Structure 1
């Protein structure tokens, strides 16, 4: 398989895997372990369990798709700076999950908050977004440093 196609699979697959991983982490940590919220809070407990189940099923499919794309890409160490592209993509995908989920579900749709009922709920919501932004920035930095070194090698 050509290097350009493998690189594309690493870019897309690592993003999808990171998006799914942060989604699964959110569901496990905030929904199940801390029991701070469910996907849809304005319903009875069985409705919350169903909404969380659909969410977990969706992020599981996302993880599988990301894994398949990375499997198709092959060993990232076979590409120049492949590990940087992989790690950067995972962080970008994870940060994107936090930002998209936080803005849409917490602020626009207001179907739940990170810690509903807490007097500092907005602080938790904004911290969730800040973590997402931090992951995104670090991921972009890691990927760009890999890409810069790639372009200087090819020059």
Structure 2
């Protein structure tokens, strides 16, 4: 893992945090708002669902801002800029980590919601969500490794 962070570690952490926030925001926009498949907390009334989604969106917005600030700050004071391939790899690692943790905790362990709540195939949607997270992590790791093999 240390190999991935040869550039400024603040930038690397910022890219990872940005990925967490970005995938959280995409999850909230696509699954919560556009498709309306679920809310963060499904086992409550509509007001509770809207409120739980609001807290979720606030958290993802904070992660996005924090990641952007770390990236910006890490690129100052003469530090080497994070290579684009590594930036994308770290964002994918953060996004994949979001999917894996959110999927395991909320969908499987706590069962506070599922990707497509109430669907006869909801387990397969939950598994696909985890697989997509694992794919993002694998691609992210490969992008970070390639940078250092070639350079």
- Equivalent residue, structure 1, for 2:48: 47
- Provide runs of 4+ in structure 1 moved above 3 Å: 78-81
> Judging changes above 3 Å, is the alpha-carbon distance between structure 1 residues 81 and 61 closer, same or farther for their aligned structure 2 residues?
closer
Q: 1:25 maps to which residue?
A: 26
Q: Cα 1:133–1:5, aligned 2, differ >3 Å: closer, same or farther?
A: closer
Q: CA deviation at 1:115?
A: 0.4
Structure with the higher helix share, 1 or 2: 1
Any idea what SS the aligned residue of 1:52 has? Answer: helix
The equivalent of 2:97 in structure 1 is: 96
Secondary structure, aligned partner of 2:119: coil
RMSD between aligned alpha carbons?
Answer: 1.8
Deviation at 1:55, TM superposition (A): 0.3
Question: Larger radius of gyration, structure 1 or 2?
Answer: 1
Q: Secondary structure at the match of 1:40?
A: coil
1:58-77 → structure 2 map (5 Å cutoff): 58-74=59-75
Q: Tell me what 1:85 maps to.
A: 86
Normalised by the size of structure 1, how large is the TM-score?
A: 0.88
Structure 1 unaligned spans of 5+: 151-155
Residue 107 of structure 1 corresponds to which residue in structure 2? 108
Query: Would the aligned equivalents of 2:22 and 2:95 in 1 still touch at CA under 8 Å?
Result: yes
In 1, Cα distance between equivalents of 2:25 and 2:82: 27
In 2, the alpha carbon distance for the partners of 1:52 and 1:42 equals 13
Q: 1:91·1:138 contact (CA, 8 Å) conserved in 2?
A: yes
Q: The residue matched to 2:8 in structure 1 has which SS?
A: helix
Aligned partners of 1:98 and 1:131 also within 8 Å: yes
User: How many residues are aligned here?
Assistant: 145
